[in-house]
Amino acid sequence: MRADFMKTAAVQDLLDRAAGTGRDGGDGRLKAITRDLIEAVTTTIVKQDINESEFWQGVHFLQQGAGEFGLLVAGLGLEHFLDLYMDAKDAEAGLGGGTPRTIEGPLYVEGAPLVEGDVNLSDDPDDADTLYMTGTVTGPGGEPVRNAILHVWHANSKGWYSHFDPTGEQTPFNNRRRIRLGDDGRYSFHSKMPSGYSVPPGGATDRLMKALGRHGSRPAHVHFFVEAPGYRTLTTQINFGDDPFAADDFAFGTREGLLPLPDRQGDCAHIAFDFRLQHARLPNDETLSARARTSA
Ligand code: MBD
Ligand code: FE
């Protein structure tokens, strides 16, 4: 099964899209070399059965020599490849179901305020509509998950994340919270509507994307970790289904089942979204991967 995984349409299609194969524009030779390079890396992931924590340890090392490495890993489809690979291993082990996982991205920050109840995530003024999100966290049988923590982070209306904002204008942890849920597994928050993210203009990722005939933009989205005792930690995000980049995310983080349409009414938008977790089977299932993360 493992040898065949590289040959699946999902993987081959990802390699083509990541290298800009078949797209107009860009440098043909660079595309061909990029495709072979990412195929070599992903083949190695499968051959060595590299796990999430090992992968991020390697990225962390390389990042010490290249500041945008985490962004390149997302843009080259390697981070999404890891999700496809973990999905395939789950399927092989007879695991599956629940809310799909998708990429974390490089912009999570540890230590966001831990809050309860119906919360506001936005500390800073922002000339944007208000996003309301509500829903439940349940287990495989639909039972409410008790004592979950929902980590939420998203960009502001300029597409910038707090702690990574080149304008320096955001309060630390603006649009970032950890929400402690109760016994009913319900959550509810509001915040200033995020806009899509684009890679820093003129940076290494931007230049590579252009050379591949690609772009460096993501649809507007909201990131989540969902953790709860007895359940497998979920890394996921919702992307706005009505965003122009919803079907063309440079980071390959959009997935079926994770593209809700905001219900837009005047200057408000509502998204109802339920998370379904799997039971933890191994002790590590309840924790995040050992990826190095920014802590403020
Ligand atoms: C993001 O906001 C993001 O989610 C990813 C995956 C990459 C870059 C910026
Ligand atoms: Fe993001």
In ligand 1, the atom with minimum distance to the C-alpha of 223 is: 4
β partners of residue 120: 190
pLDDT on residue 65:
67
For a substitution probing ligand 1, which of 108, 165, 197 has the most ligand atoms within 8 Å of its CB? 197
Cα radius of gyration (the chain): 19
Does ligand 1 have an atom closer than 6 angstroms to the CB of 251? Answer: yes
| pLDDT in the model for residue 67 | 82
Atom of ligand 1 nearest to the CA of 197: 2
Which residues in the chain show pLDDT less than 70? 1-3, 61, 64-65
CA angle centred on 221, ends 190 and 139, rounded to 5°: 75
- Tell me the three-class secondary structure of 43-90, residue by residue: HHHHHCCCCHHHHHHHHHHHHCCCCCHHHHHHHCCHHHHHHHHHHHHH
| Closest ligand to residue 254's CA | 1
pLDDT of residue 121: 98
Give yes or no for residue 107 CB within 6 A of ligand 1.
yes
CA angle in degrees (0–180, nearest 5) for 36-256-270:
130
Tell me what pLDDT residue 287 has: 95
- Contact between 100 and 256 (Cβ < 8 Å): yes
Centre of ligand 2 to C-alpha 218, Å, is 8
**pTM recorded for the entire structure:** 0.88
Structure tokens at 288: 């995040």
Q: What's the confidence (pLDDT) of residue 178?
A: 98
Angle at 244 between CA 238 and CA 250, to 5 degrees: 70
CA–CA–CA angle 237, 242, 243 (5° rounding): 70
Specify the pLDDT at position 197.
95
Ligand 1 atom at minimum distance from 105 CA = 6
pLDDT of residue 62: 73
